[in-house]
Amino acid sequence: MTQVDRDPVTRLDEALELLPRGIEPPRDLWPAIEARLEPRPAGATRRWGWLAAAGVLLVIGSSLITASLLRREAEVTAVVPLERPAPATPAAFGPGQRLDPSYDLIRQQLANSLAQRIERLPPEVRAKLEANLAELRRATAEINAALELSPGDPLLEELLINSYQDELAVLASVNQLTGPNGRIPL
């Protein structure tokens, strides 16, 4: 069998067998590398210790401040009575149609809970919330009016559903954020 007839893998295996199993370096290179390294100052390790201690003190201090702020009772704000509670408009889906009764029930429960809690909100928060709810209800009324002119319009129906969902989300958020005592936790 000639050199050409053999498998290339076999030739590679034979060539690898001829190589030495280990090679010793001609000289030790580490002393030259170590000599070129910059020496460390004597206080470098102590400096890291001080930085770590300062970091721990910073974390502990900020945690204590945060805990004391969270425990501190919120200031009592003056309760301004509502001129008139915002009425929940009946949920409709175009002319002569109503949404699912379970939706109306959930919506009314959230609105009632909101009316009880809204009186305990700070005046600026209350005003912003009432403005947002009024805008959502105005948009819902406009979409319902447009549906009376174009019943079955899929775009208007989708917009109406989205506005109802947005109103529910606002009501649910207020109920969740105000907590059981009606105050926004700090």
pLDDT digits (tens, 9 = 90+) for 10-62: 999 999 999 988 888 788 888 888 888 877 666 666 777 888 888 888 889 88
For position 108, what pLDDT does the model report? Answer: 78
The fraction of the chain above a pLDDT of 70, given in percent, is 74
The fraction of the chain above a pLDDT of 90, given in percent, is 4
Convert 14-47 to b/e letters by CB count within 10 Å (16 or more is b).
Answer: eeeeeeeeeeeeeeeeeeeeeeeeeeeeeeeeee
Domains of the chain by residue range: 101-178
Q: Tell me the average pLDDT of the chain.
A: 76
Q: How many secondary structure helices (H) and strands (E) does the chain include?
A: 6, 0
Question: Using CA atoms, how far apart are residues 172 and 165, in angstroms rounded to an integer?
Answer: 10
For position 89, what pLDDT does the model report? Answer: 52
Amino acid at 153: D
pLDDT tens digit string along 74-87? 444 444 444 444 45
pLDDT at 93 over 60: no
Query: Is 185 or 17 the better-scoring residue by pLDDT?
Result: 17
Tell me how far CA of residue 6 lies from CA of 9, 51, 165, in angstroms: 8, 67, 77
